Structure 1
C-alpha cells in the first residue's frame, strides 16, 4: 500500500508538470489551511478557500512570502468566521 504523503507529493509534482507551473508554495501550509476551512466552516469550504488564496496570489503575482501572508489571512478569516 502506498504512503499517502508520498502519493500526495507525487500528485503535486505531476499536476505542476501538467499545468506547466513551478509554484513557490508550501503544500503543507495549503493543506493546513484546507483543514482549518473544513473544520471551522464546512467541508466544501476547503477547496474553495485554497482556490481563492491561489487565485489572489496569482493576481498579485505574489512571491513565497506574499503567498504565506495570504494563507495566514485566510486562516484567521476561517477561524474567526461565524
Structure 2
C-alpha cells in the first residue's frame, strides 16, 4: 500500500507526506460501518476537497466521523 500511495502521490504532483493515512482510514472505517460502504470513498473525496479549500484535515475528519457515528446511533 505504501508503494501505491507514493506512486499515486507522484502522479498527482503531491508530496506523499501530506497524507495522514491513519486519519483517512479511521474516517472511512467510521463511515463504512455507520452509513454504508460506498459512502466511505466518497466521504474521503469530500474530505480532500475540503482540505484543498483550506480546512484543517484533523478537524474536518473528526467532524465527519462524529456525523457518521451520530447517524449510526440515531438508527440503533
TM-score interval (norm. to shorter): 0.7 to 0.9
2:59 aligned partner = 69
Task: Give TM-score, length-normalised by structure 1.
Answer: 0.79
- Measure the CA separation in 1 of the matches of 2:13 and 2:30: 28
For structure 1, the 5+ residue unaligned runs are: 1-7
Q: How many aligned residue pairs are there? A: 71
Q: Which of 28, 37, 43 is equivalent to 1:43?
A: 37
Tell me, in whole angstroms, the C-alpha distance in 1 between the residues paired with 2:13 and 2:5.
12
Counterpart of 2:19 in structure 1 is 25
SS of residue in 1 equivalent to 2:22: helix
TM-score with structure 2 setting the length: 0.85
RMSD between aligned residues: 1.3
